[in-house]
Structure 1
Amino acid sequence: MARPFLRGIARRAAGSVAAVLLTAASWTAVGSGIAAGEGPAAATAPDGSYIERVDRVDDRRSDVSVYSAAMRRTVRLAVVAPARPAGPRPVLYLLNGAEDGLFPDGTEVSWLTRTDIRDFTAGKDVTLVDVLDGRYTYYTDWVADDPVLGRNRWTTFLTAELPPLIDAAFDGNGRNAIAGVSMSATSALALAEAAPGLYRGVGSFSGCAQTGTDPGRRYVQAVVLSGGGNPWNMWGADGAPAWTDRDPSADANLAKLRGTELVVTAGDPAAPGRADGAPTSPPGRGLEAAVADCTRELAARLDTDGIAATVRYLPGGQHAWPYWQQAVREAWPALARALGR
């Protein structure tokens, strides 16, 4: 889970889009129990990425496996349709924390198991795509393959490979938003910047966007190390240009968010209050205080650059799922505008 993992980070840290045109789409069986003519379209992109398997879990959720040609591996997703689909609809992509996702024993720690976002969006005619792989990777394109974390081309996957496949298979209308927590709060900003206009709304909850300067750079390195990876395989050795070039809070990158519906939140542990379901003795207050400092710096840069954003500090905030559930609910009006809903 993200919370105990990030307690460890707090200790250690102290020391353009390629155009993808679908070339094939057919109503053939793509998953267990899906007969021809009944399931999502089996779509293949020119680079060789394709939907490998779709397993219907219930009337709304499908577990989906997508082969990424860029990463040369299969990525697991959960796709949730609205309760009453009404034709082509927008897609909200959800990224999880560094230690979240689908584990080998079948345990799932995700937006769908730790928040009520499925029920909350049931009547909103929006498709949810929860990415269940990608732990410790910051959902970015790495400069080198890693012996432990493998080949990571997440920016390519999430900006060029996956969205057209999801639209073809699950009746997407081309309007997207993205939200992330903790590690992936930084990723959500970076992905929107990497493909301006692809993600029209961004929710960045409890992240530290400053990857080119300390302490944010040290947080990133601690995350990768905690997963057994080598952070120098991500953006090069410490101090390499990519650490600054890919910093979501750099002015040149923030400019790419102009016109995006942007919501950034962090907890305010000093303010009284507690989210429903939050622990009474929060272990994540110290870390969330550091996150709040990162958020204040980001907010100041956004203001200086004249980039509109909604920035919120949640009272009693902790680095925990109940607060991220609260955050996405408060962000919904902005995300809904981005999605045309």
Structure 2
Amino acid sequence: MSHKTLLRTGPLLQGGAGPYGPPGRPGPDGLALPPGFFGRVVARSGQKVAGLTWHAAPDGGACFPDGAGWIYVSNSELPLLGGASALRFRPDGSIADAYRILSGTDLNCAGGATPWHSWLSCELGHRGRVFECDPYGARAARPRLAMGRFRHEAAACDPERGVVYLTEDEPDGCFYRFRPGDWGDLTEGTLEVLCGSGEWRQVPSPAALLTPTRYQVEAARHFDGGDGCHYAGGVCYFTTKGGTTLWAYDAQASSLDRLCSGVRAVTAAPSGDLYVSRETTEIHVIAPDREVTPFLRLAGHDGAELTGLAFSPDGARLYFSARRGRTDGCTFEVTGPFRP
């Protein structure tokens, strides 16, 4: 999926109705959407979908092309039993299959899709790993240990520079990038950390037992709880739990801007619009002109966190999950006249 370039400087502007108009009244599943948009629940934690019991604590997600159809994958942030599952959709939007693509891992929180159509599932636990998974279910998942052993949260691929950005969920976590020796093969490479000066420095020992990666480079810049991460149009957007801040790292200029607060997860549409989940059960649109407006509201899910935002390959459907704690979770699909 290609993305238009978003504006990278200047303040965000709180707008009015936005590109689609304000959300209307909530439907049976609690979704309040703009006119012309429709929503449905495609999976519920603990219930069967296409023969698979959908996992609890759904978190990070992404979509992949599958012939004329597509696949949505979703992580499970459960201790020891986390992993990830996939939903395969037919061209008409009906669900053809559901299956596991990763099992027996710990606290799989967020992650990221690669340009070569694999899913990077990130473990949040102590000395967590990044697993490269096959969304199509044909190949076994493999740990990519050169990407470091720490509390991994999310990953975002930058094909222009041939690197993968990584966030770390620690109160003094860092923002990393992994530079593979061969783009498309994450088996070996160099892990680097962003420093206060704006430069990147190599982490000497990404899998060290005694000295955590975030303390190996003295000049490293620290962030309060790295969270979601998404690359689009030359910018890596990531969030931090401290202050629920949305950041924008301009990869070309090597500059970092604080965009706004109150954001937990982020993705981008082909239009160049950013879609962000707020601390409330709402998803907002940040347009290329930097206007911020509400897109949807989820009623009846008080206290839920909205996770796993991802667009289908054609940009016509938005997926996300609403989760509360370790057991409850619903995965939604929204369709409508998204602008190209």
Question: Same-fold call, TM > 0.5?
Answer: no
Higher RCO structure (Cα 8 Å, ≥6 apart):
2
Q: Identify the structure with the greater helix proportion.
A: 1
Q: TM-score normalized by structure 1?
A: 0.30
